[in-house]
Amino acid sequence: MNRPPVNSLNTEHLEQLHRALVRLENEKCRGMILSSSSPTVFSAGLDIREMYKPELEKARKFWRTLQDMWLKLYSTPYPTVAAIHGHAPAGGCLLALSCEYRVIVPNVKIGLNETQLGIVAPQWFQDCMRNVIGERQAEKALIAGHMFNTEQALQVGLVDEVAADKAACIARAEAFLASQANLPLLARKTVKLGFRNSTLSRLMTGREADTKIFIEYIFQPKVQKGIELYLQSLSKKSG
Ligand SMILES: CCCCCCCCCCC/C=C/C(=O)SCCNC(=O)CCNC(=O)[C@H](O)C(C)(C)COP(=O)(O)OP(=O)(O)OC[C@H]1O[C@@H](n2cnc3c(N)ncnc32)[C@H](O)[C@@H]1OP(=O)(O)O
């Protein structure tokens, strides 16, 4: 990902990610490392400005593009690793959770923090967390909107490994891909999709309902007010 300063996910960036995933699949890619050009941020999650006073059709397109990108990422036939050498809140955490393996560096925060922002992580975000760390830990983390530090993320199983820095992180991600390289492709892909199918189907069969929930939620005046205040707090911080 290379969308400075923080790889926030707007419609255009989501389309780019989606196109890249389609191309990799068409080219029979043997593995992907999802990484960031930023030295300190993996992805800041959804671009909050896409949800602030949006036009209805633009908001719908944004959400459908996110759904498209995620459905592709979660179901890739090739192995995927997230090299998390920077913070990964909310949608950034979703990207990492959607890969098959996660390597993180020290001093990083990762988690589905939506509750803390006064918004709600959609069901499929929650499913991804549950599938990785289990029901009990996911429920606790999501209710609190907890951001895990590196040590906590390893302990709870949110990530698989800690590496010292970006170079070591990429090297460990490559080692994971190498460990998968000799597995028969069809068997590997079939098992992966078997594990992920119920999570994928839940969104695929309820896409329109999921979009409606998103739209109805973000267009509420009190939610808009919360987003406005959060945007102000973010820009004050950097100002
Ligand atoms: C019943 C069911 C109902 C379901 C209803 C669904 C409802 C909606 C669901 C929506 C799900 C949302 C998912 C999300 O991903 S929301 C986004 C959450 N992300 C965050 O909270 C992260 C915020 N950012 C940060 O914490 C930090 O920026 C970060 C740690 C990532 C980096 O810190 P750093 O100090 O390096 O950078 P700055 O904070 O100074 O930021 C630099 C500039 O970038 C802007 N910025 C940051 N994050 C975002 C973002 N997510 N979107 C847009 N812009 C962002 C920040 O304002 C700075 O900009 P300026 O320089 O212009 O001030």
- Give the Cβ contact number of residue 190 at 10 Å: 11
Q: How confident is the model at residue 235 (pLDDT cuts 50, 70, 90)?
A: confident
C-alpha 190 to ligand 1 mean position (Å): 35
Would you say residue 90 has pLDDT above 80? yes
Please determine, for the modelled complex, whether the ipTM score is greater than 0.90: yes
pLDDT bracket for residue 140 (50, 70, 90): very high
Q: Average per-residue pLDDT in the chain?
A: 96
The yes-or-no verdict on residue 238 having pLDDT over 70 is no
Atom of ligand 1 nearest to the CA of 231: 57
Contact predicate 6/53, CB 8 Å: no
Count other C-beta atoms under 10 Å from residue 90's C-beta: 26
pLDDT at 236: 74
Q: Which domains does the chain have, with CATH numbers?
A: 11-238 (3.90.226.10)
Distance CA 111, CA 96 (A): 10
What is the C-alpha separation between 42 and 88, in angstroms, rounded? 5
Residue pair 148/88 in contact (Cβ under 8 Å)? The answer is no
pLDDT band at residue 172 using 50, 70 and 90 as cut-offs: very high
User: Has this prediction a pTM greater than 0.80?
Assistant: yes
Distance 31 CA to ligand 1 centre (A): 29
The Cα–Cα gap between 173 and 126 comes to: 25
Angle at 8 between CA 7 and CA 10, to 5 degrees: 120
Q: How far is the CA of 47 from the centre of ligand 1 (A)?
A: 6
Q: One of 31, 91, 111, 145 is an active-site residue; which one?
A: 91
Ligand 1 atom nearest 38 alpha carbon: 36
Is residue 83 a contact partner of residue 177, using CB atoms and an 8 Å limit? no
Span 7-15, average pLDDT: 98
pLDDT of residue 216: 96
Supply the pLDDT for residue 152: 98
pLDDT band at 239 (very low <50, low <70, confident <90, very high): low
